[in-house]
Structure 1
Amino acid sequence: MKHSKTKTSFYRRLYIAYLIDRGINTVPAITAATGMPRRTAQDTLSALHELGIECEFVGANKDGHYRIRQWGPINQQWLIDNLRLIQHTLEYPAL
């Protein structure tokens, strides 16, 4: 089934925030977990604020990581409950 770009973009952002919250919080770790290109991961991280998710980079450039400071309007329980659907829609492997 073909999903809209709006839906996949929204799910991708949610999934990246979920991964960061679970400790998969560097660009190399995100690309390894999802298989997405590095640039896509970076663009998605930059766009989290558009959903009201506050994400910050902590530490030095080489040794730092991302952290979710605030989920904003996103219901984390909905995300957890629908994780398999999101992974399936994005064609990402289950963790």
Structure 2
Amino acid sequence: MPISKTKSSFYRRLYIAHLIDSGVSTVPAILEYTGMPRRTAQDTIKSLADLDIVCTFVQTKGERNRSGHYKISDWGAINKQWITDNLTEIKSDLDYP
């Protein structure tokens, strides 16, 4: 049974935040790891703030282009241990490997 768009959006945000926190913290790395479209990954990262997850871009020192990585500095009301405990279900519901 397919999950609702609301639930899949919520799970996608949790999953992306988990990946960033686990070191898969650049858009190219997220794309490679998940296979999701670039725009989906970028939009999901931007929408983390809707869940009060503070995600910032840390630019590589000395670089003038956009090289760097994302970092989660505050999870807000989200229990990141719950994500870890339920990661298999989250990935399964999102059809990610």
Q: Which TM class, normalised by the smaller chain length?
A: over 0.9
TM superposition score normalised by structure 2 = 0.93
Deviates more, 1:57-66 or 1:8-17: 57-66
- Whether 2:78 is the aligned partner of 1:74: answer yes
Extract unaligned runs of 5+ from structure 1. none
The number of residue pairs the alignment matches comes to 93
Return the alpha-carbon distance in structure 1 between the equivalents of residues 67 and 6 of structure 2. 33
Aligned to 2:51: 51
**Which of the two has higher C-alpha Rg?**
2
Amino acid at match of 2:69: H
Instruction: Pick one of 79, 87, 90 that aligns with 1:83.
Output: 87
What is the DSSP-based 3-state SS (H/G/I as helix, E as strand, rest coil) of the residue aligned with 2:7? helix
CA RMSD of aligned residues (A): 0.9
After TM superposition, give the deviation of residue 63 of structure 1 in Å: 2.0
Extract unaligned runs of 5+ from structure 2. none
* Fraction of identical pairs, as percent: 62
- Whether 2:68 is the aligned partner of 1:64: answer yes
After TM superposition, give the deviation of residue 2 of structure 1 in Å: 1.0
TM superposition score normalised by structure 1 = 0.94
